[in-house]
Amino acid sequence: MSPAALVDRFGRQITYLRVSVTDRCNLRCLYCMPEEGVALQPHEAILRYEEIARLVSVAARLGVSKVRITGGEPLVRPGVVELVRRLASIPGISDLAMTTNGVLLAQNARDLAEAGLQRVNVSLDTLRPDRFARLARRDHLAQVLAGLDAAEQAGLTPVKVNMVVIRGLNDDEVVSFARLTLARGWHVRYIEVMPLGEGEHWSEGGFVSALEIKERVEEQLGPLAALPHRSGSPARDWRLPGATGTLGFITPVTEHFCGECNRLRLTADGRLISCLLRGGEVDVRQALRDNADDEVLQNILRDSVSLKPSGHHLEECRPTVSRGMSGIGG
C-alpha cells in the first residue's frame, strides 16, 4: 500500500469514488422520490465538469482507481459524454462505469463507449410495462429495454441490471429476472430496500431479504453455484446451471458489507460523503472554486475518509443522512 493511499481509521483503503453529476431524474420511482419530485440544487451549486475532473485527478494520485458516474440520472445532464472522456484520460483510473435508469441509454451508449466508459448498471425493477408505469411513475419500459440492448451492442459489458425488490410491488418477478441470466447473459443484482428517504416507507412491510429471494429462485430454477467473492464488491455472486450471466445479492440490511467498504461519494453539489447511511458531509466545492492547490484537496479527501464509520449500524439506530438517494448518488 502506498504511503499516499487513502486509508480510514479501520484500515480500509479507499479505491472507489462514486460521482453524482446531477440531482435531477426523469423518473419518480416509489422508493426513491415522491411524485412531485424533490427540491433541487440551483444550477450554480452543481459542480462543473472541470471541477469534477480535477478532484478525480487528485483522488487518483491517492490510490482511487475506480469511478462510477451516478445521479439522479446522469444522462439527463448535457455533455456527460465529455465528462466520461475527461475521466477516462486520468492516469490511474482503470475502471470507469455508470449507473443509469436506462431511459436515455439507447441514444448515448455508443458515444459513451467511444469516450471510454467500460460498463453500465441499469436500474430496472420490473419487466411489465403496466407495473413499470406504476413503480417509476413514467411509461418508459420500452426505452429502458432498448437501452440495455444498445449497451450490449456498444460493448458496455457485462451489462448489469439492478432490481430493488419490494414485497407486494415486484417480488413476484424475481424468478423472471433470474431467467435473464440464462436468456441474455446479463448480470442481475437483487438489492434489499433500505430505510433511506422514500425507501423508509417500504422497508418494513415491503422488505424482502436476499435469502428469501435466493430460495425462491432455487425453488423454480434449481440450485445456485457460488462464485468467488470479489474484494470490495457489495454483491455476493451466484450462477444458475447453464447460465452465462450471474445473480448477485446486495444485502445492506441483513448482512452488511461495511467491513470491506472501499468507497467515497461525491455529491453533485460538491460534498464528500463517506457512508451512504451514516456520517457527515465534507465540503470540497468551495476549495475547488477557490482554486486550492492539490495538497488542500488531498487533505479534504483525507478529512472525509477519517469520518468513515466502522459500519452503518442499522440494527441499532436509524440512518443519520439528511439527503434522499437521488441527492447522494446511490
In a domain, 2, yes or no: no
In a domain, 292, yes or no: yes
pTM: 0.92
| Predicted local distance difference test score (pLDDT) of residue 201 | 52
CA distance 51 to 188: 34
| Predicted local distance difference test score (pLDDT) of residue 255 | 81
In a domain, 11, yes or no: no
Total count of residues recorded for the chain: 330
Instruction: Convert 205-218 to b/e letters by CB count within 10 Å (16 or more is b).
Output: ebbbbbebbbebbe
| Predicted local distance difference test score (pLDDT) of residue 12 | 93
Closest residue by Cα to residue 187 from 143, 108, 250:
250
Sign for the CA dihedral angle at 275, 302, 46, 250 comes to: negative
In a domain, 296, yes or no: yes
How many other CB atoms are there within 10 angstroms of residue 5's CB atom? 13
Q: For residue 236, what are the CA distances in angstroms to 97, 172, 173, 214, 219?
A: 19, 21, 20, 11, 19
Number of domains into which the chain is organized: 1
| Predicted local distance difference test score (pLDDT) of residue 196 | 63
Which residue ranges in the chain fall short of pLDDT 50? 199, 317, 319
In a domain, 8, yes or no: no
In a domain, 144, yes or no: yes
In a domain, 9, yes or no: no
Task: Please say whether the beta carbons of 278 and 312 come within 8 A.
Answer: yes
In a domain, 286, yes or no: yes
| Predicted local distance difference test score (pLDDT) of residue 316 | 53
Domain assignment of residue 167, given as a range: 16-328
- DSSP per-residue string spanning 39-60: PPPPGGGSPPHHHHHHHHHHHH
| Predicted local distance difference test score (pLDDT) of residue 85 | 98
| Predicted local distance difference test score (pLDDT) of residue 311 | 76
CATH number of residue 76's parent domain: 3.20.20.70
